[in-house]
Structure 1
Amino acid sequence: MGKRAKRGKAETVALPMAARVAIGAVAVAALGYGLLSGPESAQPIRKPAAHQALASSTPVYVAAPAHASAPAPAPAPAPIPTPAPLVEPPKAADGPGAFVRQVVDYASHQAPGTVIVDTKNTFLYFVLNDTQALRYGIGVGREGFTWSGEQTVARKTEWPDWRPPAEMLVRQPYLPRFMAGGPGNPLGARAMYLGETEFRIHGTNKPDTIGKRVSSGCIRLTNDDVVDLYERVKVGAKVIVLPAVAPSSGPKVAEVQ
């Protein structure tokens, strides 16, 4: 092929390529113009971020909450005074609480000044009138040494001496044959002898035995109580000893402690 033919073929190929470039440039220009000249309403609206909206909003100043002062504590109510007892019973210095001497209701129908020994419940009553008595806590005879019946107060002694009976010395040979009256004497501060028997109503230097069955038949009170009873009881006064369980045949003479 000659030079003329080759040149013609190259021009034929070159023209379409130039045309394509020109057409592409025009299309790009048109697209850019359309984007720039579009209505504002068509543009997307971006929602500001939360921290941007907070930063751009008008600041609001909130006052610190006022702390109300704590109310003053209500004044404590005044204590209600405990009313004084109508009757303050006399108290035994050493006796247990249940056996404190006191005036109680007691319908005995016995003459005032009579002594009634309630062996079962370990109480002694000094009759005041038809409806009242002065009650004392007592210690009574242990098993085998209780008795019941009526006696009279034969005599009274302050700080009595003690001579243990022969039967007691057989069982307890270590006991003294004689002990003079005094604080260490087991008969205590006072003694009231009952009739012709060996039995007594007397005190004790062991107040913890009040309310118990520990003696050899005698009736014991604390020293404070026996002094009080001693001043009230008259020689010749009736003494009624009630049975512990069942009536016995009569007073039993036994060693006295």
Structure 2
Amino acid sequence: MTSELQLSRRAFVIGSVAMTATLAGCATSTGPKNVPVPEQVRRPIVPATEAELQERYAAVSDGGHQIPAIPYQQIDPKYYRQRVIDPTGETPGTVVVNTPDRFLYVVEPGGTAMRYGVGIGRDGFAWQGEGVIHWRQPWPRWKPPADMIARQPGLSRFSVENGGMDPGIKNPLGARALYIFQNNQDTLYRLHGSPEWQSIGKATSSGCVRLINQDVIDLYSRVPYHARIVVHQ
């Protein structure tokens, strides 16, 4: 009888210890203290090599269209697509157009931005403000607005009523178009590609922001629907 009592007592003690350990394992833990907060990753800012520039602005086949190579050597290098320290202070994902400097930025996490050289609207044809990229289109049709047709009647064959100009390398909207809306209304201003690489860095368009076709394809891949856009004049 004594041996049985001792065995029962021993089993009880062992069971109690095991239960205590189990309960301790389920208890809420505050975790280790003084754990360093990981730094936000910043993408490297490295100047492009000549080989990278050649690849970046080489001829490309896209959507059944052949985009010719860009003679980038004839463009001011500051207008090349490049990653820079973000000067805008805007939240990641925001598109910022700095028209005086002819730059477009896509703000990235970690304090950097992808910067593109752009052509902008000439005096009297510029837009500024805040909106959203409400619609995006690869190889869009070009449908000049009525006021443009009034200034250039020869464009009437590309009017909305006539279905616009077919997509293609000669289309003024180029390989991609991103449509700016404000207060749910189409502003009629676009970010778009252009075959006229000579216009980058200049004020020559009818208000839209134009990019080299190779650059607008890259921009299109980075900017989602309903991205916020800010245009400074």
1:209 maps to 199
1:229 maps to 219
Structure 1 residues 51-130: aligned runs within 5 Å: 87-89=46-48, 91=53, 93=57, 94=70, 95=72, 96=75, 97-129=77-109
- The answer on whether the counterparts of 2:122 and 2:206 sit within 8 Å (CA) in structure 1 is yes
- The answer on whether the counterparts of 1:189 and 1:204 sit within 8 Å (CA) in structure 2 is yes
- Superposed displacement of residue 114, structure 1: 0.7
Q: CA RMSD in A?
A: 1.8
Question: Could you tell me how far apart the structure 2 residues matched to 1:107 and 1:224 are?
Answer: 24
- Count of aligned pairs: 159
- The answer on whether the counterparts of 1:108 and 1:131 sit within 8 Å (CA) in structure 2 is no
The match for 1:188 among 169, 174, 182 is 174
Question: Could you tell me how far apart the structure 2 residues matched to 1:141 and 1:205 are?
Answer: 16
1:251 maps to none
Question: Could you tell me how far apart the structure 1 residues matched to 2:142 and 2:85 are?
Answer: 36
SS in 1 for 2:225: coil
* Structure with the higher fraction of residues in strand conformation: 2
- Superposed displacement of residue 112, structure 1: 1.2
Partner letter of residue 220 of structure 2?
Y
- The answer on whether the counterparts of 1:127 and 1:133 sit within 8 Å (CA) in structure 2 is yes
- The answer on whether the counterparts of 1:140 and 1:215 sit within 8 Å (CA) in structure 2 is yes
- Superposed displacement of residue 173, structure 1: 1.3
Pick the structure with greater CA Rg. 1
SS in 2 for 1:199: strand
- Superposed displacement of residue 221, structure 1: 0.3
Partner letter of residue 115 of structure 2?
R
Partner letter of residue 142 of structure 2?
W
Structure 1 residues 39-50: aligned runs within 5 Å: none
- Output the TM-score relative to the length of structure 2: 0.64
- The answer on whether the counterparts of 2:127 and 2:189 sit within 8 Å (CA) in structure 1 is no
Partner letter of residue 182 of structure 1?
G
- Please list the CA deviations of residues 72-117 of structure 1 after superposition, one character each: whole Å capped at 9, or x if unmatched: xxxxxxxxxxxxxx82436452351231110111243322111000
Question: Could you tell me how far apart the structure 1 residues matched to 2:109 and 2:202 are?
Answer: 28
- Output the TM-score relative to the length of structure 1: 0.59
The match for 2:230 among 222, 240, 254 is 240
1:220 maps to 210
- The answer on whether the counterparts of 1:106 and 1:130 sit within 8 Å (CA) in structure 2 is no
1:75 maps to none
- Please list the CA deviations of residues 28-56 of structure 1 after superposition, one character each: whole Å capped at 9, or x if unmatched: xxxxxxxxxxxxxxxxxxxxxxxxxxxxx
**How high is the sequence identity, in percent, across the aligned residues?**
44
- Please list the CA deviations of residues 5-33 of structure 1 after superposition, one character each: whole Å capped at 9, or x if unmatched: xxxxxxxxxxxxxxxxxxxxxxxxxxxxx
Question: Could you tell me how far apart the structure 2 residues matched to 1:88 and 1:121 are?
Answer: 20
Alignment gaps of 5+ in structure 2: 1-44, 58-69, 159-163
**Aligned in 2, Cα 1:213/1:107: closer, same or farther, shift over 3 Å?**
closer
Question: Could you tell me how far apart the structure 1 residues matched to 2:87 and 2:117 are?
Answer: 18
